[in-house]
Amino acid sequence: MTTVAAAPVTGLPLRLSAPEPGWELTADVCVVGSGVAGLCVALHARAAGLSVAVVTKVRADAGSTRWAQGGIAAVLDPTDSPEAHARDTEVAGVGLCETAAVDVLVHEGPGRLRQLIEWGAAFDRDPSGRLLLTREGGHSADRIVHAGGDATGSEVQRTLQDAVRADPLVTLVEHAMVLDLLTDADGRAAGVTLHVLGEGSADGVGAVRARAVVLATGGMGQVYAATTNPSVSTGDGVALGLRAGAVATDLEFVQFHPTSLWLGPGVRGQQPLVSEALRGEGAVLRDGTGERFMLGVHPMAELAPRDVVAKAITGVQLRDGVPHVWLDAREVPRVAERFPTITASCRSAGIDPATDLVPVTPAAHYASGGLVTDLAGRTTVPGLYACGEVACTGVHGANRLASNSLLEGLVFAARIGAELARALPPAMPAVVAPAVPSGLLDPAGRREVTDTMSARVGALRSGAGLAEATGRLAALAAGLGPEVPPGVAGWEATDLLTVAAALATAAAAREETRGCHWREDHPGTEEAWRVHLDLRLDRDGALTVARRPVGTPVVPPW
């Protein structure tokens, strides 16, 4: 077998924003992002008596949370157990889950779900008032709580936004793209710079000064040409973290959701999700001949862990030379009533899931990795926390279990809140003058980033393809120019390039197949690769990769 060395990516930017912000806000805690993770951190920090600024790139509800369909996994049925939930999580994570983090998730999850209900979330119940529980891929029990049938995220977002907006000591700044971390002389987080499209004093590039910064910016699905993620998911938090010297890990484990609605060849951007819960309620997958191909693949068939189903679908598409397979939901009882969101997406494409087969194909869905944190949400940079999809707590390993993501946001936000209450520095850190900004990627280069990622760093990868990808991304990094005017388009393109380069570098380095990282040239899962790959951006803008055995902490005490 020929090994093709991936080109090292160097010359990535270390700073985006101007050294002198034009305006300033202060709060005890600055939370960046306004999905389940960010808003829950804000509520817990407020419960501890702290003032909070929540800054968010577009509108408060523009992130991934609102789009979540399936639900929240939590052990509520007495015949189920946290141990079974932990086992399912670890099986899906294929040896890379951090057991301590998984234990926290499954044991603290039910309490955090009840708290969300106390805050006003209305989940679906049976006529006697009991919460309805469904099943999704990889779960050995019915433990998925849902709202509005398949509109769980929208109910979670509504509940948390209402609670945050009712609190006058939370300042919510919308249309604010985060740029860089501000630090004090000891390297401790002291706030962020951001660009606000606003009116009056807070307009243009400014700063939020704070005693702690919590990144809750969500995922990076827009690094691919087609994704289930909304347009704001451009990896801004991971890119900022890398620029600030934080360690990111498990970035190669991008989860491809098995069933996005196939809308035709060459589609780009956000694609409609067709929830796994539909398979939990009896829908099955068929190839072009009508054959149920999952039956021979895994004992759980269509409800196998997500990576198994996505790989099987991709395999059928390659085998038959077709762009999609079929989801058959015709036997699902009252499908339009139980799944109104999916039914509406299908109908707008001229398909009725009650009577028609639904064309589906895998699409980039979730970053199982992110900025590495400990159990209190601390990153490797003092004063900087990460929560939700931007973070890598270790609960997901090589492949996230369905409906563990909203849960992770709920659980770890509470832990960060407790840590903020205990460990904030007594005074506002003094900011040291930041460095001069680096050049940006021309927004026209964004398409090359996403096309390269989809073609070479997608669901099925090879050493040669990954080497080509890192080569192209390295060439784009070499061309970053001071002539590109500062602005959201250039900053987003530059963040996408940064996370694409980190993801492709990790994928090229991992010479095995594990979870959602699938290498055609290394099809086996190897014990020697039961390690995390830690990515750092060194002070010259070069990416470095280090192996770290599972169970080895990387966040130093601070």
How far apart (Å, rounded) are the C-alpha atoms in residues 503 and 247?
A: 13
How far apart (Å, rounded) are the C-alpha atoms in residues 425 and 383?
A: 9
Q: Looking at 212-220, 263-271, 275-283, 433-441, which segment touches ligand SIN (CB under 6 A)?
A: 275-283
Q: CA geometry: angle at 222 spanning 249 and 146, to 5°?
A: 85
Is 399 a binding residue for ligand SIN by CB under 6 A? The answer is no
Q: Find the farthest-apart pair of alpha carbons in the chain and give their distance in angstroms, rounded.
A: 68
Q: Indicate which single residue of 56, 345, 405, 450 sits in contact with ligand SIN (rule: CB under 6 A).
A: 405
Is 230 a binding residue for ligand SIN by CB under 6 A? The answer is no
Instruction: Report the nearest approach of ligand SIN to the CB of residue 134 (Å).
Output: 10
Q: What end-to-end distance do the CA atoms of the chain give, in Å? A: 46
Q: Which is nearer to ligand SIN, 369 or 443 (CB)?
A: 369
Shortest Cβ contact with ligand SIN: which residue?
A: 70
Q: Which of the residues 349 through 388 are near ligand SIN (CB under 6 A)?
A: 366
Contact call for residues 339 and 353 (beta carbons, < 8 A): yes
Instruction: Report the nearest approach of ligand SIN to the CB of residue 403 (Å).
Output: 4
Q: Which is nearer to ligand SIN, 69 or 494 (CB)?
A: 69
Q: Which is nearer to ligand SIN, 9 or 342 (CB)?
A: 342
Q: Which is nearer to ligand SIN, 396 or 517 (CB)?
A: 396
CB atoms within 10 A of CB 471: 16
Instruction: Report the nearest approach of ligand SIN to the CB of residue 416 (Å).
Output: 21
Is 277 a binding residue for ligand SIN by CB under 6 A? The answer is yes
Q: Looking at 23-31, 88-96, 270-278, 501-509, which segment touches ligand SIN (CB under 6 A)?
A: 270-278
Q: Indicate which single residue of 88, 108, 276, 408 sits in contact with ligand SIN (rule: CB under 6 A).
A: 276
- Alpha helices (H) in 424-519, listed in sequence order: 446-456, 463-478, 488-509
Rg (alpha carbons) of the chain, rounded to whole number? 22
CB atoms within 10 A of CB 299: 7
Q: Which is nearer to ligand SIN, 277 or 335 (CB)?
A: 277
Instruction: Report the nearest approach of ligand SIN to the CB of residue 426 (Å).
Output: 40
Q: What is the 3-state secondary structure (H, E, C) of 106-169?
A: HHHHHHHHHHHHHCCCCCCECCCCCECEECCCCCCCCCEECCCCCCHHHHHHHHHHHHHHCCCC
Long-range contact pairs involving 162-166 (C-beta distance under 8 Å, separation at least 24): 162/120, 163/39, 163/43, 163/119, 163/120, 164/34, 164/39, 164/42, 164/43, 164/54, 164/60
How far apart (Å, rounded) are the C-alpha atoms in residues 529 and 454?
A: 25
SS3 485: coil
How far apart (Å, rounded) are the C-alpha atoms in residues 183 and 372?
A: 19
Q: Hey, what are 158's tokens? A: 């509504």
Where in the sequence numbering do the catalytic residues fall? 306
Instruction: Report the nearest approach of ligand SIN to the CB of residue 485 (Å).
Output: 37
Strands (E), 295-357: 325-328
Q: Which is nearer to ligand SIN, 34 or 255 (CB)?
A: 255
Q: Which is nearer to ligand SIN, 17 or 405 (CB)?
A: 405
- Residue 426: CB partners within 8 Å, gap ≥ 6? none
Nearest to 92 by CA among 307, 253, 391: 307
Q: Which is nearer to ligand SIN, 15 or 365 (CB)?
A: 365
Is 403 a binding residue for ligand SIN by CB under 6 A? The answer is yes
Contact call for residues 86 and 102 (beta carbons, < 8 A): yes
Is 250 a binding residue for ligand SIN by CB under 6 A? The answer is no
Instruction: Report the nearest approach of ligand SIN to the CB of residue 405 (Å).
Output: 5
Is 180 a binding residue for ligand SIN by CB under 6 A? The answer is no
Is 260 a binding residue for ligand SIN by CB under 6 A? The answer is no
Q: Looking at 32-40, 193-201, 271-279, 373-381, which segment touches ligand SIN (CB under 6 A)?
A: 271-279
How far apart (Å, rounded) are the C-alpha atoms in residues 330 and 275?
A: 15
Q: Looking at 78-86, 272-280, 355-363, 426-434, which segment touches ligand SIN (CB under 6 A)?
A: 272-280
How far apart (Å, rounded) are the C-alpha atoms in residues 157 and 517?
A: 31
Q: Indicate which single residue of 402, 466, 493, 537 sits in contact with ligand SIN (rule: CB under 6 A).
A: 402
SS3 content of the chain, % helix, strand, coil (to 5): 35, 20, 45
Is 149 a binding residue for ligand SIN by CB under 6 A? The answer is no
Is 93 a binding residue for ligand SIN by CB under 6 A? The answer is no
Reported residue count of the chain is 558
Q: Which is nearer to ligand SIN, 241 or 258 (CB)?
A: 258
Q: Indicate which single residue of 69, 271, 314, 452 sits in contact with ligand SIN (rule: CB under 6 A).
A: 69
Q: Indicate which single residue of 21, 35, 63, 70 sits in contact with ligand SIN (rule: CB under 6 A).
A: 70
Q: Looking at 312-320, 324-332, 370-378, 398-406, which segment touches ligand SIN (CB under 6 A)?
A: 398-406
Is 275 a binding residue for ligand SIN by CB under 6 A? The answer is yes
Total of chain residues touching ligand SIN, rule CB under 6 A: 9
| Contacts with ligand SIN, 107-146, as mask; x by CB under 6 A | ----------------------------------------
Q: Which is nearer to ligand SIN, 360 or 402 (CB)?
A: 402
List residues binding ligand SIN (CB under 6 A): 69-70, 275-277, 366, 402-403, 405
